[in-house]
Structure 1
Amino acid sequence: MANSASGDSVIGRVMRIIDSFSEDRTVQTVSEIGRRARLPPSTAHRMIGELVANGILERDAEHRVRLGMRLWELALRGSTALKLRQAALPYMERVQSAIREHTQLAVLEQEEALCLEQLSDPNAGANATRITGRLPLHASSSGLVLLAHADARLRERVLAAPLRRVGPGTITDPSRLRRTLDEIRRVGRVVAPASIEEVSTGVAVPVRSAGAVIAALSVVLPRERPPGAAIEELVVAARGIERSLSTSTR
């Protein structure tokens, strides 16, 4: 793609525009987008206008800008994430009906745990994760499962980098994290108390397709609740998702 005078590619600039939106910042002015995307005002106005014309962005009645439905449509076409979510939802609902807290499905995306789906009981306890939310791999039960089964080079990059403390129980010692990842691969689950919220415990198991771990299925429990029942429900659900995925690919 053609570069700007500064060396930016068109795709790079478009991605910065899209990345300027977040869960807490869903509507912005053109000038706000331009500032966050590090674009000159004239470039921001031109590119945002083109993206609006193509449905990638939309304007509201006050001429503020938000992500467009066209972007959502394109993201779902042939998406492996959509197929995974569709296969997982019936089994997540069974877990949710039994545990009645937070049930989540996450995948590895750009060295973070990305939440694809979440079911929550109205009376469930604290939980920092949202659908499309991201968490560091070392700081959540789903992330730990994904990291344990990730490419060895990715694991070593995470272990070599500073391990940020997210919650009081976050593992920040590389040696301890390495031992934890070894145990996850050995026992097929993880229980992570207070890794994000002091009052919560994350419990997660891997979901496989053709032998490879493609996702993590987890439940967030109140800290005082024993994890045994949740582990049993998650293991059964993960096997069900795997059977469903295997059937759909034949």
Structure 2
Amino acid sequence: MAGGAREPGRSVTSKVLAVLGAFDAAHPRLTLTDLARRSGLPLSTAHRLVAELVDAQVLSRAPDGRLRVGMRLWELGQLATGRLHEAARPWLQELFTATGENVHVAVRDGLEVLYVDKVYGRRAVPIVSRTGGRLPMHPTGVGKVLLAHEPDWFVTAYLARELERPTPYTITEPGRLARELDAVRDRGYALTHEEMTLGSCSAAVPVTVDGRVVAALGIVLSSRRSRELPRLIEPLRTTAAAIARGCASLPVS
């Protein structure tokens, strides 16, 4: 791609990444002008890059003419978590069928949790997680599990940041959060109560393959039913073990 390559200080690759980075959950569709503004690129450069990315199906145009992420990028994204997604999907469905509650599996990506898959129903409590979406680690059950099993240096660095507080109940004090993570690691599961979203609570357990925590499995209920969470730990553990066996048995592609 040759568009705008002569602009000083920025490679073509950095410009393409800036274009793709302009899209997020709050901005899934953008006009060319908005895309140029959010990516920090001149309109002419954005126009040239977008034309090539649309040709390559990395971007596509919605019926209203706005730009959106294309199917080719979605296909590539599936390669990153495809093995886990393939192993988890039937077991997530089975757990949802047994409980009727929101269930999801997530991995750590940087300082956030990335939701690989989710199964939910109309009667389940509304939650903010979505497949392919990201949330902070410390307010979520799956995030607490993943954070608790990171090396000490990572946890120390994470706690040293200014932590988001989505609700008044989110634990952000470093000392208290560190003790909570120790408890999660010791007992083998995490519980949250209205830390990410008011009105919901959650439980989560690790998915361990060859002695390494590769993901976390979680379930979300209405906070009015928080007393039911302890009885869901064993079904979560059973499902997590099945997912782990599935991951171990799938060929590495």
> TM bucket by the smaller chain?
over 0.9
Deviations 1:125-171 (A, max 9, x none): 13111111111111111111111112332211111111221123211
Backbone CA RMSD of aligned residues: 1.9
Deviations 1:95-135 (A, max 9, x none): 11122121011110121001111111211113111111111
Q: Secondary structure at the match of 2:195?
A: coil
Q: TM-score, normalised by structure 1?
A: 0.93
Give the conservation status (yes or no) of the 8 Å contact 1:168–1:196.
no
Return the match for 1:50 from 37, 43, 52.
52
Return the match for 1:72 from 67, 74, 98.
74
Q: TM-score, normalised by structure 2?
A: 0.92
Mapped to 2, the partners of 1:111 and 1:43 lie a distance apart of: 31
| Long gaps (5+) in structure 1 | none
Aligned residues: 248
Matched with 1:248 is: 250
Mapped to 1, the partners of 2:197 and 2:68 lie a distance apart of: 31
Matched with 1:9 is: 11
Q: Secondary structure at the match of 1:139?
A: coil
Deviations 1:189-211 (A, max 9, x none): 01111111221111100001111
Q: Secondary structure at the match of 2:122?
A: coil
Q: Cα–Cα, structure 1 residues 98 and 14, in superposed 2: closer, same or farther, change >3 Å?
A: same
Matched with 1:126 is: 126
1:30 aligns with 2:32: yes
Mapped to 2, the partners of 1:60 and 1:97 lie a distance apart of: 35
Q: Which amino acid aligns with 2:231?
A: A
Deviations 1:37-96 (A, max 9, x none): 0101111111111111211111245432111111122333xx251110110111111211
1:235 aligns with 2:220: no
| Long gaps (5+) in structure 2 | none
Mapped to 1, the partners of 2:124 and 2:68 lie a distance apart of: 31
Q: Percent identity?
A: 36
Q: Cα–Cα, structure 1 residues 61 and 239, in superposed 2: closer, same or farther, change >3 Å?
A: closer
Q: Cα–Cα, structure 1 residues 245 and 61, in superposed 2: closer, same or farther, change >3 Å?
A: closer
Q: Which deviates more from structure 2 when the two are superposed, residues 125-134 or residues 54-63?
A: 54-63
Mapped to 1, the partners of 2:64 and 2:133 lie a distance apart of: 28
Mapped to 2, the partners of 1:153 and 1:160 lie a distance apart of: 11
